[in-house]
Chains A and B, each alone.
Chain A
Amino acid sequence: MKLEGKRKIWNEYQKEIADDKYFYVRSCIRQAVFPGSENTYLRIMRDVLKKDVHESAHHTTCTGIGYHTEVVPFETIQTVVARNFALMREAGYENYTPSCVTSFGIYTEVLDTWHHFPEERKRTAEYLKKATQRDFQEPGNMAHTSDIIYKFRHQIAEKSKYKLINKATGLPLKVVDHIGCHYAKMFPAKGIGGAEHPHVLAGLIEAFGGEVIDYPERRHCCGFGFRQYFIKANRGYSIAASKKKFESMEPYQPDLILTNCPGCNFFMDRWQYALAEMEGKTYDTKGNGIPVLAYEELAGLMLGFDPWEMGLQMHQVGIETLMDKIGIPYNLNEKYKGAKGEDLGVPESPRNINFYK
């Protein structure tokens, strides 16, 4: 194929991403399990890129978890989504940027529903008016926060102190990307690169000088299928899905797993611990596990943010191995200290996976 033709086709896989003035909505899971990651995103956007990012204390969950587990009906979720859109317009913004991939899928699904079934939109507007006296309008532009980081990846890379290069060997670090299923598998046109060639994380890895590893189960689910995980009897399916991915990436010995979905980040991280405790196996050669980072955590590390300020101690698999390879300094004495230097307590050590403390 001619390069010109390739470029033309690739253009069809792009999406429009707003340049500034974002309305930011947080993720339920991330605030619970990786509370520093969203703060890191805001630091990058406001302090490094000097962008206007607004968040409302009144915004709520998208109720995606309740929806996917059939607890919350579709009428309810549409009204909740409409309320969050109303808050955005009231604040004077039109570019909606959810932090969660599940939420991104929910918003996309609801917008698509309203497009094809205007009567659903009309009914939702009535429900919203009745319940909150609010009116709403659809966003002018909607992008996941990983899209935003992707858009500014070269600017971030230019300002970065570090690169994804092994300090000892001078070779690029090997990184596997894992993109949340609800990012582009449901509505391919809404993701950069669609469902077949998602580039949202690979582009970031390349910008930081790392090597993207293409492994057989790259597009496989992380294991956080809602119905698999939330019912304990089905959790064997969840951990089996993660195990399949780890076994598939193991021969390539990756230095890092990069994710853009809160659930994937959590499961790729925590299931490594659970598998180590169940089966005594880790998927690296030294018993440390493979570090897992979200896109803004990686960007923050590259920019030289303090790892403990970003909350990287909340990850089950230690990030220290990665920082050692890149040559990022860190102080283990401050790992479990709060913002004011208070002692947060050191967690119990796992038995089968190395733990830095």
Chain B
Amino acid sequence: MIDFGFTPFAAGVTDLDKANLSLAKQITEHEPSFNLCISCGSCSATCTAGQFTKFSFRVMCHQIRKGNTTLAIEEASKCMLCGKCTLICPRNVNTRNIIRLVRKAQTTTP
């Protein structure tokens, strides 16, 4: 094989027919405001934990919607539950409760 100095980046495409969306379903059932999120990123911009780690609530929501449960749980573990994101959210998404539900899933996921 020839090394051209670059290779095709892996496509970030999720096949929603095959993805495991059980976590997204579980969160929507218990916290319907999850569906109000418009991914504006205000939560991540104001996040205290995000100042010190690579934590992003917005990215975590994307991981949940793509069925990447393990990555979502990893993200949720970085949160300090300070609640600033809940105050700033323009759509009144109950972000703290979503974090709580993801953490709960961590304990129930085999």
Chain A positions within 8 Å of B, measured between CB atoms, are 232-233, 235-237, 239-240, 243-244, 274-275, 277-280, 351
Is B11 a contact partner of A278 (Cβ separation < 8 A)? no
Is A277 a contact partner of B2 (Cβ separation < 8 A)? yes
From residue B19, how far is it (CB to closest CB) to chain A in Å? 18
CB < 8 Å neighbour of B2 from A235, A236, A239, A278? A278
From residue B17, how far is it (CB to closest CB) to chain A in Å? 14
Is B8 a contact partner of A240 (Cβ separation < 8 A)? yes
CB < 8 Å neighbour of B9 from A232, A236, A277? A236
Tell me which residues across on chain A come within 8 A of B1, comparing CB atoms.
277-280
Tell me which residues across on chain B come within 8 A of A237, comparing CB atoms.
9
List B residues 1-49 near A (Cβ within 8 Å). Answer: 1-2, 4-11
Tell me which residues across on chain B come within 8 A of A279, comparing CB atoms.
1, 8
Nearest A residue to B2 via CB reads A277
A351 to B1 CA separation, bound complex (whole angstroms): 8
Is A239 a contact partner of B11 (Cβ separation < 8 A)? no
A277 to B7 CA separation, bound complex (whole angstroms): 11
From residue B106, how far is it (CB to closest CB) to chain A in Å? 33
Is B8 a contact partner of A278 (Cβ separation < 8 A)? yes
Tell me which residues across on chain B come within 8 A of A236, comparing CB atoms.
6-9
Binding site secondary structure of chain B = loop
Tell me which residues across on chain B come within 8 A of A278, comparing CB atoms.
1-2, 4, 7-8
Nearest B residue to A274 via CB reads B4
Number of interface residues of B (CB under 8 A): 10
Is A275 a contact partner of B8 (Cβ separation < 8 A)? yes
Is B8 a contact partner of A243 (Cβ separation < 8 A)? yes
A233 to B4 CA separation, bound complex (whole angstroms): 11
Is A244 a contact partner of B11 (Cβ separation < 8 A)? yes
> 8 nearest interchain CB pairs?
A240-B8, A235-B6, A277-B2, A236-B9, A239-B8, A240-B9, A236-B6, A243-B8
27 A-B residue pairs with CB within 8 Å: A232-B5, A233-B6, A235-B4, A235-B5, A235-B6, A236-B7, A236-B9, A237-B9, A239-B8, A240-B8, A240-B10, A240-B11, A243-B8, A243-B11, A244-B11, A274-B4, A275-B8, A277-B1, A277-B2, A278-B1, A278-B2, A278-B4, A278-B7, A278-B8, A279-B1, A279-B8, A351-B2
A274 to B9 CA separation, bound complex (whole angstroms): 14
From residue A83, how far is it (CB to closest CB) to chain B in Å? 37
CB < 8 Å neighbour of B6 from A239, A243, A280, A351? A239
A233 to B6 CA separation, bound complex (whole angstroms): 7
Nearest B residue to A271 via CB reads B8
A87 to B7 CA separation, bound complex (whole angstroms): 44
A243 to B6 CA separation, bound complex (whole angstroms): 14
Nearest B residue to A273 via CB reads B2
List B residues 41-74 near A (Cβ within 8 Å). Answer: none
From residue A113, how far is it (CB to closest CB) to chain B in Å? 32
A240 to B6 CA separation, bound complex (whole angstroms): 11
A233 to B5 CA separation, bound complex (whole angstroms): 8
A240 to B7 CA separation, bound complex (whole angstroms): 8
Nearest B residue to A247 via CB reads B11
From residue B18, how far is it (CB to closest CB) to chain A in Å? 16
Tell me which residues across on chain A come within 8 A of B2, comparing CB atoms.
277-278, 351
Tell me which residues across on chain B come within 8 A of A351, comparing CB atoms.
2
Tell me which residues across on chain B come within 8 A of A240, comparing CB atoms.
8-11
Tell me which residues across on chain A come within 8 A of B5, comparing CB atoms.
232, 235
Beyond the given A237-B9, A240-B8, A279-B8, please list 15 additional residue pairs across the A-B interface where CB-CB is below 8 A. A232-B5, A233-B6, A235-B5, A236-B7, A236-B9, A239-B6, A239-B8, A240-B10, A240-B11, A243-B11, A274-B4, A277-B1, A278-B4, A279-B1, A280-B1
